[in-house]
Copies of this chain bind each other. A is one copy, B any other.
Amino acid sequence: MLILDNFDKSAVTVDNVIFGFDDEDLKVLLIKRGESPFEGSWALPGYFVKGDEDLDKAAKRVLAELTGLENVYLEQVETFGKTNRHPAGRVITVAYYSLIKISDFKITPNSIANRAVWKSTSFAQDLAFDHDEIFKACFNRLKRKVRSKPIGFELLPPKFTLTKLQQLYEAILEVQLDKRNFRKKILSMDLLHYLDEREEKVAHRPAKLYKFDENKYQEFLSKGMVFDISESKSKGAKKKLKF
């Protein structure tokens, strides 16, 4: 039987890219480092994995400790294992991203989150360690995934307007979308339930409120249909996403 002591071992961490969406702006949760190395830099929240702890459990635990939230969308993205990525020695890190409703997020007293701040994704740069690379990998994964699975709703409050939904997609995909085509496509999938409620106290025509209907989505899938907010395939070199 194999003896593991014969082989090199490494410290292992999980790093979390926690996305939130706050009225028109996609945000990521960052912490300001209070200690060396990279003291004063912004960094992704992460922590060490325990020896008797499954990786996925570690990611959930760290996320819960940071945000106070459980039952949150969480997905492993990539593992970063350059020998020199951490100045203190070899640390392999497994990156996860998660999607949370900012309104549910509470800064828990004991947690690292005391120093945590929501930053717009467009300002998430010059992070500590190789966190720029990790952030980019997770953001790219989110961009891809949000087009083929209805995970975007994880970022919205239970009741939302179609405009908020469109703004969310525009923020994630970093493109402009056509309002009529977007609505036509989303509504044609028949995944939303109109709540027979509207916005209140807005200085314009109040928008209808919808919720995402998990049952309808299961039906949708069982018909062999595929959620798809598709990328433009136009020959015309545009980086624009069209509907």
Interface residues of A (CB under 8 A from B): 1-4, 7-12, 35-37, 48-56, 58, 76, 78-83, 87-92, 94, 223-226, 228, 231, 233-239
**Identical chains bound together, number:** 2
Known A3-B88, A4-B89; further 9 A-B contacts with Cβ < 8 A: A1-B87, A8-B48, A9-B9, A55-B80, A55-B81, A58-B81, A79-B94, A81-B94, A224-B239
A92:B8 contact, CB within 8 angstroms? no
B7:A9 contact, CB within 8 angstroms? no
Shortest distance between the CB of A47 and any CB in chain B (Å):
9
Closest 8 CB pairs of A and B: A55-B81, A8-B51, A224-B237, A9-B9, A7-B48, A79-B79, A2-B88, A4-B89
CB neighbours of A50 from chain B (8 A): 8
Shortest distance between the CB of A146 and any CB in chain B (Å):
15
